[in-house]
């Protein structure tokens, strides 16, 4: 490469990075979202501990969050060590990885094909397409951008190996592949992608062609040889697939045939492929959660989607002299297979993050095809460049806007409800966001909307019961708790249900039922703070101050909340232990974020048993 060309390549790389950072700049103002960020960062003590030997051991041995991806855990731990819980640092790490991926993609395509401008356009589309916002703006999707980094490094190493035959480069491919799998199993299709890469642009498979391939490609090999050459990678992919299924099952993420039938899964596969294509060319109404339709897809929609996929497949095979077309198309189809829903994981029908690697295939096919048409029709390069800049700039503006929807939980889920239908998870997550802000009335409305769309699992039913109690609807809470008790035999779930049932009866002044409920809760879980607090309040009503002190001291030990400490102070005063009561009251002033609100809550509990604070 001449010095001038090297300079141009460096400039293009810098432009890619600058454009990516500029359009993604709003990410630094976004908060964490309570949509896996809690499990990955906010409520993960191992990750928050930083890079320690214990964290390393945990990372390699856990199936936490339904994955085995030790490198992802370690990258989050490193961020916590550097940035603590400042979301800007975590988000910016994702952004830098995404920008690096765009540069690696450009350099890979340029070296493999010899086409600089087409490679730059594909990399720019990848960098700024709004469908990739989810992978970058969602802190928990570090696994996506990190695994992509190793995926591209493996392709770079393979490209050099295929041209030189040097064995150490093949070892590099294997190492990068293994590292990528330890970040996220989405790159499990790499051996398949390498076979496509052999066909074009390396042209190691079949007769050589001038269809946009690199003149430096090595001599063609037989298909059998090329498959056998990748056998170590296929073995790695198979092993990781087994581990992934075990991890997903351990996390109860795999949906059974009773939940989603095989026919419903296949129907969703065809329709989702077409919906992904639509998002690629018209990226509107993007959302973090597209509800699975179950068995409700119209037959005409499924048949139309299947026919379209078959038609495009036939056409690209007919035009196989333009090798980039079948490679780009089957890259898209093939790399989506692990996430397309044949094995249904989670509640979604499809997800933007799943398109992070597959859309590269569509971008390559379209950009190279348009370049070929422009060349045949002698369309000016200036026109092509102008059109490319306009498209990329428009996508960048859409990306900038999409990032704003990820600013915080409430914004994200209100937006999601505006662009999707019958989305119980969006209602549920919005309810949680509102409840955290103390907006319990609004939260209950969203919880009920979610429950109307979906059969809630017992733990979520109890979340609804909790907020029903907070807004003064004890009768509704009793119905939710009874439902949870009927639905689950899990002692932990039952203990919480009995405890909340006691709170509901306490609000209704059903003292005998409340006492019985608290006893049942404590029998299942002697450390249940809510049941201990309720039992202590009931003991105060009966004039058993010493019993109340014992129960409330235990409650404070389990849950040292400001309300529990204030109730303990009341019990101590009634037991004639004024000095200890004053000490407890002083302690509240140190731990309470809102003393007035805490005092009001404590007085409310006393009022349930007909007492006034001393």
For the chain, domain boundaries? 3-409, 527-614
d(CA 413, CA 448): 15
Beta-carbon contacts of 569 under 8 Å, excluding residues fewer than 6 positions away, are 581, 582, 584, 585, 588
Please state which CATH number belongs to domain 527-614.
1.25.40
Please, which pLDDT band fits residue 260 given cuts at 50, 70 and 90? Answer: low
pLDDT at position 210, please? 44
Please, which pLDDT band fits residue 66 given cuts at 50, 70 and 90? Answer: confident
Residues constituting the chain: 614
The string of pLDDT tens digits covering residues 375-434 is: 888 888 888 889 999 999 999 999 999 999 999 999 999 999 999 998 988 998 898 888
The string of pLDDT tens digits covering residues 198-249 is: 999 999 986 544 445 554 455 688 999 999 999 999 999 999 999 988 887 7
pLDDT at position 592, please? 65
The string of pLDDT tens digits covering residues 342-388 is: 766 667 889 999 999 999 999 999 999 999 999 888 888 888 889 99
pTM of the predicted protein model: 0.84
Coil vs helix vs strand at 290: strand
C-alpha dist (Å) from residue 522 to 157, 525, 527: 60, 5, 7
pLDDT at position 209, please? 47
d(CA 596, CA 271): 55
Beta-carbon contacts of 7 under 8 Å, excluding residues fewer than 6 positions away, are none
Residues 43, 44, 48, 49, Cα dihedral to 10°? 130
d(CA 534, CA 515): 8
């Amino acid at each position: 490469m001449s010095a001038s060309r090297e300079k141009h390549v460096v400039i293009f790389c810098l432009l890619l990075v600058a454009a990516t950072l500029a359009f993604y700049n709003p990410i630094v103002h976004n908060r964490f979202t309570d949509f896996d960020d809690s499990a990955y960062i906010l409520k993960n003590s191992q990750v928050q501990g930083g890079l320690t030997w214990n964290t390393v051991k945990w990372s390699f041995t856990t199936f936490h969050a339904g994955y085995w991806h030790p490198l992802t855990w370690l990258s989050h731990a490193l961020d916590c060590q550097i940035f603590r819980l400042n979301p800007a640092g975590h988000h910016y790490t994702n952004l830098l990885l995404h920008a690096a991926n765009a540069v690696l993609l450009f350099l890979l395509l340029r070296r493999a094909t010899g086409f600089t401008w087409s490679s730059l356009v594909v990399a720019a589309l990848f960098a700024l397409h709004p469908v990739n916002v989810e992978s970058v703006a969602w802190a928990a999707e570090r696994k996506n951008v990190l695994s992509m980094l190793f995926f591209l490094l493996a392709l770079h190493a393979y490209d050099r190996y295929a041209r030189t035959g040097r064995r150490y480069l093949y070892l590099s491919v294997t190492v990068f592949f293994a590292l990528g799998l330890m970040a996220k199993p989405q790159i499990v299709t790499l051996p398949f992608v390498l076979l496509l890469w052999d066909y074009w642009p390396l042209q190691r498979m079949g007769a050589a062609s001038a269809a946009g391939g690199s003149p430096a490609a090595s001599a063609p090999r037989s298909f059998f040889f090329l498959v056998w050459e990748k056998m170590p990678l296929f073995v790695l992919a198979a092993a990781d697939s087994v581990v992934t299924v075990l991890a997903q099952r351990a996390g109860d993420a795999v949906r059974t045939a009773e939940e989603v039938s095989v026919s419903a899964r296949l129907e969703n596969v065809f329709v989702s492929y077409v919906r992904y294509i639509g998002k690629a060319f018209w990226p509107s109404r993007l959302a973090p959660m597209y509800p699975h339709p179950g068995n409700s897809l119209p037959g005409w929609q499924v048949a139309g989607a299947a026919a379209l996929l078959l038609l495009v497949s036939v056409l690209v095979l007919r035009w196989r002299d333009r090798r980039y077309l079948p490679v780009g198309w089957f890259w898209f189809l093939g790399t989506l297979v692990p996430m397309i829903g044949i094995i249904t994981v989670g509640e979604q029908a499809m997800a933007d993050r799943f398109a992070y690697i597959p859309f590269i295939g569509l971008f390559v096919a379209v950009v190279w095809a348009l370049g070929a048409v422009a060349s045949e029709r002698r369309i000016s390069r200036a026109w092509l460049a102008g059109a490319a800049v306009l498209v990329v700039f428009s996508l960048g503006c859409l990306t900038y806007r999409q990032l704003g929807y990820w600013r915080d939980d409430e914004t994200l889920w209100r937006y999601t409800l505006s662009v999707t239908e019958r989305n119980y998870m969006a209602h549920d997550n919005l309810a949680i966001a509102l409840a955290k802000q103390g907006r319990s009335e609004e939260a209950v409305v969203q919880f009920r909307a979610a429950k109307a769309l979906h059969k809630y699992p017992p733990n979520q039913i109890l979340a609804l019961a909790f907020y029903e109690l907070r807004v003064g609807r004890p009768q509704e809470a009793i119905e939710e708790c009874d439902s949870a008790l009927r639905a689950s035999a899990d002692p932990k779930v039952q203990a919480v249900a009995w405890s909340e049932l006691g709170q509901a009866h306490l609000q209704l002044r059903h003292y005998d039922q409340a006492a019985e409920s608290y006893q049942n809760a404590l029998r299942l879980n002697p450390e249940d703070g809510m049941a201990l607090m309720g039992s202590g309040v009931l003991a105060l009503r009966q004039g058993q101050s010493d019993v109340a002190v014992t129960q409330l001291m235990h409650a404070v030990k389990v849950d040292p909340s400001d309300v529990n400490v204030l109730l303990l102070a009341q019990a101590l005063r009634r037991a004639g232990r004024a000095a200890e009561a004053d000490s407890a009251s002083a302690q509240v002033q140190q731990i309470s974020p809102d003393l007035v609100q805490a005092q009001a809550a404590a007085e409310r509990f006393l009022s349930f048993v007909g007492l006034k604070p001393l």
